[in-house]
Amino acid sequence: MTNNTSYEKTFTIGGDLTVNRMGYGAMRITGEGIWGPPKDKEEAIRVLQRTVELGINFIDTADSYGPNVSEELIAEALHPYPKDLVIATKGGLTRTGPNVWPVNADPDYLRKALEGSLKRLKQDKIDLYQLHRIDPEVPYEKTLEFLQQVQEEGLVKHIGLSEVSVDEIKKAQEYFKVVSVQNKYSVDFRKWEDELEYCREQDMAFIPWNPINAGNIGELEPLNKVANKHGVTPYQIALSWLLHRAPNILLIPGTSKVKHLEENYKAASISLSSDDMEELEKLSDSK
């Protein structure tokens, strides 16, 4: 991949949904362990409203965040939605307690999950519906057939996948057009390089989750070196690196604080030089 010192500010999902590449992930506006309501609901509402004010027009959520809480707050804070706002949600994980995420991609369950997301988000159609995980207990083909069916029914516009390999993406492409892949990826976690490159070749959005590795990148020397040079935080550099890394990467850093949201947003204005990118490549062997 080329290490450009400038990058495209937008990406068009599925050929018709153009969004700013700095988006927002709405997982953290729930309670501890991504369970229950947030401690400060008013601040969560302010975060969502400030997101739109900043010009962010891509919000990623899931029915399992809370569960239900994140989607409900998005609707409370932002409905009726701005015309250019794209809300992506996911189905395929259930919740039995804080930080517990059982997988369930059975078509019957997924239909109930999708219907719940539509109701909570106050929408007739989900712009981007993503399979949260492949279920080892359910034939992959059955899950794909369900997604194909709800797209044909007009309940979802576009379909994406999460935590999938190139082969799993290709299998899904036999059933519908895959427009996005959401895999764990960061400057120090690059297990999915092949998937990123495949998505780039196919003009699919690649949406890294955990883009700053749960905040565990602050002690990485290359990041600190580049951050000190620019007078910003290592977390901002980690986000900027992703924007420079490939033109199909969409960022969804999450937070429950307006101040932190604004700090994340500023990462989009950092221009990394080829020397900066070379320095950060020292982390490429980290897994």
Query: Which carries the bigger pLDDT value, residue 214 or residue 150?
Result: 150
Average pLDDT for the chain: 95
User: Which one of 24, 65, 129, 185 is the catalytic residue?
Assistant: 65
Q: How far apart are CA 193 and CA 190, in angstroms?
A: 6
What six digits make up the tokens of 12?
């068009």
The helix/strand/coil state of 89 is: strand
Judge whether 65 counts as a catalytic residue. Answer: yes
Q: Are 245 and 11 in contact (CB under 8 A)?
A: no
User: In this structure, are residues 154 and 183 in contact, taking their beta carbons and an 8 Å threshold?
Assistant: no
Q: What is the mean pLDDT of residues 73-100?
A: 98
CATH topology of domain 10-283: TIM Barrel (3.20.20)
Q: What is the pLDDT of residue 287?
A: 46
- pLDDT value at residue 76: 98
pTM of model > 0.85: yes
**Has residue 43 got a pLDDT over 50?**
yes
**Averaged pLDDT, 256-272:** 96
- Domain range summary for the chain, segments of one domain joined by +: 10-283
Mean pLDDT for 1-22 is 84
Label residue 5 by pLDDT band (50, 70, 90).
low
pLDDT score at 212: 84
Q: Are the CB atoms for 185 and 213 separated by under 8 Å?
A: no
User: Helix (H, G, I), strand (E, B), or coil: what is residue 78?
Assistant: helix
Residue 4: predicted pLDDT: 47
Q: Is the pLDDT of residue 283 over 90?
A: no
